Amino acid sequence: MNDLFRLNRNDAIDRNRLDSPTFHREIDKQPRRRTRRRWGGRLFALGGFVLLAGGLTLGGWGNYSLRQEVMATARQQHDFVPSLRVATVEANPATVSVILPGTTAAFAAANIYARATGYIAKRNVDIGDRVKAGDLLAELAVPELDHQISQNEATLDQLKSSLQQARANQDLAQVTWDRDSPLVQKGWVTPQQGDTDRLNLQSRVAGVAVAEANVSSQGNLLKVLQQNRDYALVVAPFNGVITQRNVDVGSLVQGNAASGTFMFELMQQDVIRVWVYVPQDSAFGVAPGIEAIVRVPELPDREFSGTVTRISDALQPGTRTLLTEIDIPNPDGALTPGTYCMIELHIPRKTPSLSVPADAIIFNRNGMQVAVVDNGKAELRKVKVKRDLGTRVEVDSGIKAGDQVILNPPVTLVDGSKIQAMPETPRT
């Protein structure tokens, strides 16, 4: 019952609301609201369409502008002619200057050993003394050798006397045979006596030959002893300087060819010999007569000129270098043996070569190349590098003297690219 009552009551309220003037005004407002909503949706859709069309238009215009800029940039790059620095290829001189380390040595050096056994009786030189050929360096006391010489001289005298006796006997036998020979033929002397005289003469002749041989042998022995006696006087074999002394007065020296006493070292220094090892890349141009300049770090204000006098004509297997000797006049003795020095050689080139700045070399998968300017275009050419001198390199193929090569070529440079050559900057 209660529910039915509430339902009837609600229905009564709704009927009253429908009959009220306010309800009728609300009903009249509904069509206008629907119309406004419909036009609002249309305006919103139209605004969205306009925005979309504007966005598409702007996007298309931006894309068109970007495309035009790209095409303009491409045309600009295609028509752009870069200005690049160039350098002229130069022909190298006919000679190449090579500076190498070397060592000075005496033109002649001799180690003087004792050839006679004895004591030093007199020493006339010391280290640093300059001597001439034939000067007496030292004198040895050799009493045993003097006694041997005296004894052998007496023996020689005896042998000479024996020779005189043999010759006298030969003369007697010759006279006897000359006298008896005719008598034997006439029969006045028996043949036996004649044979005795003849054979006696032959025996005397043989005796004289033996005596002469003994005298000659003894004379040769005496010459050997005299020669050994002369070795007691030690003299200089050539002009030079004493650089080493190992004996003094009273020292015992042994005269032996294998184990003799080392007495002095003598060096000839008026001409200095310089040893230098020339590398293989320059060795094939080295020959006697090539000019050389020797410089010593401790003598910065002096240069010593000389010429190549000898070469070994064979490279050292381990270092691939050629031993070269240079003679340097040294009248004042400024150069001493064993000095480290630098030698500048002016070696003639076997084959011509060209000089190119190192900045012009292009190294890529195609090898060594340079870019040569030809009628305003770049032409890539392969080259063969012979020597790398740091800022410049030597090449012997691919280019010629007078060609213009591009310095520091850009990575985008290709064969046929148009370029504008800038004036070459003078080298300082």
Residue ranges in the chain modelled with pLDDT below 70: 1-44, 49, 54-55, 59, 62, 72-81, 257, 423-428
SS3 271: strand
- Domain spanning 143-231: CATH 1.10.287: yes
CB 102 within 8 Å of CB 276: yes
CB 375 within 8 Å of CB 412: no
CATH T-level assignment (fold) for domain 352-422: 2.40.420
What number of CA atoms fall less than 13 Å from residue 269's CA on the CB side? 20
What sign does the CA torsion over 134, 139, 142, 147 have? Answer: positive
**Nearest alpha carbon to residue 81 among 419, 423, 356:** 419
Q: What distance in Å separates the CA atoms of residue 136 and residue 116, rounded to the nearest whole number? A: 15
**In sequence order, what E strands does 114-182 have?**
118-123, 130-131, 136-141
What number of CA atoms fall less than 13 Å from residue 20's CA on the CB side? 9
Q: What distance in Å separates the CA atoms of residue 47 and residue 109, rounded to the nearest whole number? A: 114
Q: What pTM does this model have?
A: 0.57
The ranges assigned to domains in the chain are 25-79, 143-231, 352-422
Distance set, CA 426 to CA 87, 88, 223, 234, 362 (Å): 9, 11, 81, 68, 22
CB 285 within 8 Å of CB 96: yes
Alpha carbon 172 to its chain's center: 84
What pLDDT is stored for residue 396 in this prediction?
Answer: 81
Q: Residue 28 gets which letter from DSSP?
A: H
What burial class does residue 379 get, using C-beta atoms within 10 Å of its C-beta: 0-12 exposed, 13-18 middle, 19+ buried? middle
* Amino acid identity for residue 58 in this structure: L
pLDDT digits 0-9 by tens, 312-322: 888 988 899 99
SS3 340: strand
What pLDDT is stored for residue 1 in this prediction?
Answer: 44
What pLDDT is stored for residue 421 in this prediction?
Answer: 75
Cα radius of gyration rounded to whole Å, the chain: 60
Listed in sequence order, the residues at least 6 apart from 289 whose beta carbon sits closer than 8 Å to its beta carbon are 307, 308
What pLDDT is stored for residue 3 in this prediction?
Answer: 47
Q: What distance in Å separates the CA atoms of residue 407 and residue 161, rounded to the nearest whole number? A: 102
Give backbone dihedrals phi and psi of 93, rounded to 5 degrees, phi first: -65, 165
What pLDDT is stored for residue 427 in this prediction?
Answer: 55
What pLDDT is stored for residue 196 in this prediction?
Answer: 85
Distance set, CA 345 to CA 62, 137, 276, 309, 393 (Å): 72, 40, 10, 13, 19
User: Do 143-231 and 352-422 come out as alike in CATH topology?
Assistant: no
Place of tokens 């001439």: 132
What pLDDT is stored for residue 340 in this prediction?
Answer: 94
Q: Residue 423 gets which letter from DSSP?
A: P
